[in-house]
Chains A and B, each alone.
Chain A
Amino acid sequence: MFPLQSEVRFALIIFVLAMIALVFSGELIIDPPISLSSNLLAMNSRAFPFLVLISTVIISFIFLMNAARTSGLWVSRNHSTGSASASKNVWRQYVFLIITVTCALLLTTLGFIATMFLLMVSTAILIGNRNVFQILCVSTLIPVCFYIVVTHVIRTALPEAEIVQRFLAPLIRFLPAF
């Protein structure tokens, strides 16, 4: 058995999600505790989502039927072996995704500079940079400079660990006020 074609898989996911959203719209659309009477509201809060979701279901269904009729739903054997050799770097993308999600979750806990350092170092290594000095310089200096510019010049807060803030405070004090 070969996997589904990527476009078929994508359309199928949308189709299934739209069906679920349509079937459970009664539970997923919650009217406010004090609702306006129907003669004051020109359109029910469920009407527009219903129209959009039913259109989504119909279009994705037509797309899937069309795909089944023309190119087929599954990846062919030849295509499968071809793409296997081409997708040898896919593991890097999965690692990148895991790192990105982890960094997104850690941003407020670890702070901007530390999280960006981790994210930039891992991205540089995954892309293929093997120059340690270059990686460390770019991943340290750019987030620090960016943090200083944003917090000191533009005066906008970025999440930062207290220890890093304390470490950077003397440096920021040396800078002219804006």
Chain B
Amino acid sequence: MMEVFLAGLDAALRVDTFVWISGGLLLGMLMGSLPGFTTTMGMSVLVPISFLVGDPLIGIPFLIGVYKGGIYGGSVPAILIAMPGTGASIATVFDGHELTKQGKSRKALEMGLYASVISDFFSDIFTLVMIVPVGAIVLGFGPPEIASVMFLSLVIIAVTSTGPVMKGLLMLCLGIWFGFIGADPFSGAARYTFGTNQLYDGFHLIPMLIGLFALPEIFNAVKEGDQSNSRIATFVGKHLEFSEFKKSLRTIFRSTAIGTFIGLVPGLGQPIAAMMGYIAAKNSSKTPEKFGKGELDGVAGAEAANNAVNGPTMVPLLTLGIPGDAVTALLLGAFMMQGLRPGPTLLETNGEVVFAILIAMVVANILFLIIGYLTIPLFTKVVTIKRSLLIPVTIMLAFAGTYLARSNPFDIVTLIGFGLVGIAARTAKFDVAPMVMGFILGRELEYSFGQTLALAGDDWLHFAFVERIGMTAVVLATPIIGIFLGVRMNRFRQKAAAGEQG
């Protein structure tokens, strides 16, 4: 494994990789700092660029740059104009914007940057260390274990999605339904293809992702009109002092631990991590009454937690092929377009590429710090850019990206179709993330489940309770974990809503 790691290190330390990561960071920060633009939307329109460049050691780190930059970029409008650029920055508004009102926006933005970089760095190191043991365990998994872990992941994703559990489960089923349209993986039977050859291969992931994530955002922007330049962003005050930063170090490390744990669990994601990081910072503070009135620790707690999620989400993605959230689903699409299939065998077959990507992620944090520090004044101006200039460019990228994925005009129809589904779901306040997970994991689940049945043969009781007791334990524990998480999530949402109002 050491040889593979060193080969990965050698492959990662390339100038072009870091040039593309820097480009990705800049684009991510741009997307994140525009109110109304989300990281998911930005990444969905930029995924095609990652495979057009050809080399996975350029394309994937580029997207990781967009991811990191986007999550941090969201804090800029949150702090300056109290409009979180991404869901991950909602908790940053509480104290960040109060600091802006007090004329300390520079301090808040710098604290956000340092907290983001430190947490990202340590969670990436954790990812790099964890990937080998987890990969070794997963390598021993057969179809029954994979099927049971996928089942558990799907339930966790559904119950932890935004909104009521029933909505999450319904969207999950809808996603699995879209996933089985096409050829049956075992017999080749055509399922719900209506006799068309185009549907026989099933829906392609990239147009689906762009349609579900980009088109509803554009649709919403059309309704809202050009509003973003009506507010004035101010970037004033003194630099963050070292003593102030040192005081928040404990909070940063606590939030890093929270974010790292949340990143490992599929479905939770940055908004929950940020809120939990903020609540933990407030609860352990000697002066909790200062929170919400311009406390630097509040910014550090939220920003460190949301950025710490980025790295660990790669562990279930790379080892099991399970994307933790919408952004990692996009990364999965990018991996697949590059001919890399995340799953138990990825580390064995493409270990060098995996390590190179993870090492690039760690090194990218240094670029993140430099670029972030130098461009803070620039992105405070970006907050006021007119949406009427950017939305047309985004829709062009959505169309072009979809077409370029396979040069198949049918993909444009898929884009529009899923765009309409996304718009309808958004209007009805249904989260599309479980649907995407269902689409991706449903196919794998069916395949593993079919293989499990073949392995079990006629004596399935002996198979389930003697040969593969691990699989049975996971399947039996799934409803209990689902109910437990559902209840905890409900309580957490109520607490977070109360905190937001307070």
Chain A: residues with CB nearer than 8 A to chain B?
6-7, 9-11, 13-14, 18, 21, 28-32, 35-36, 41-43, 45, 48-49, 52-53, 55-56, 59-60, 62-63, 66, 89-90, 92-93, 96-97, 100-101, 103-104, 107-108, 112, 115-116, 119-121, 123-124, 126-129, 134, 138-139, 142-143, 146, 150, 154, 156-159
Contacts and interface: CB of A to CB of B under 8 A. Distances in A.
Contacts of B166: 59, 62-63, 66
A42 B222 CA distance: 50
B464 to A, nearest CB: 15
B41 to A, nearest CB: 15
B288 to A, nearest CB: 35
B146 to A, nearest CB: 15
Contacts of B396: 116, 119-120, 142-143, 146
B442 to A, nearest CB: 7
Contacts of A142: 393, 396
Given A96-B222, A128-B226, A7 B177 contact: no
Given A121-B392, A127-B388, A142-B396, 20 more contacts: A18-B173, A21-B177, A29-B192, A30-B189, A31-B187, A41-B186, A45-B191, A49-B180, A66-B166, A96-B222, A97-B420, A100-B419, A101-B416, A103-B399, A119-B395, A123-B218, A123-B391, A127-B221, A129-B389, A156-B52
Interface of B: 52-53, 166-167, 169-170, 173-174, 176-177, 180, 184, 186-194, 215, 218-219, 221-226, 386-389, 391-393, 395-396, 399-400, 403-404, 407, 409, 412-413, 415-416, 419-420, 423-425, 427-430, 442, 446, 449-451, 453-454
Contact of B428 (A7, A49, A97): A7
Interface centre among B218, B403, B415 (most CB of A within 10 A): B403
Contact of B409 (A7, A11, A35, A107): A107
B187 A32 contact: yes
The 4 closest A-B pairs by CB, nearest first: A42-B454, A129-B388, A10-B428, A120-B392
A158 B187 contact: no
A89 B218 CA distance: 14
B401 to A, nearest CB: 10
Contacts of A119: 392, 395-396, 399
Contact of B392 (A9, A53, A138): A138
A28 B189 CA distance: 10
Contacts of A63: 166-167, 170
A59 B158 CA distance: 12
Contacts of B415: 104
Given A63-B167, A150-B52, A107 B412 contact: yes
Contacts of B404: 150, 156, 158
A43 B388 contact: no
A168 to B, nearest CB: 16
10 contacts: A7-B167, A49-B180, A52-B180, A59-B173, A89-B225, A115-B399, A119-B395, A119-B396, A124-B388, A158-B403
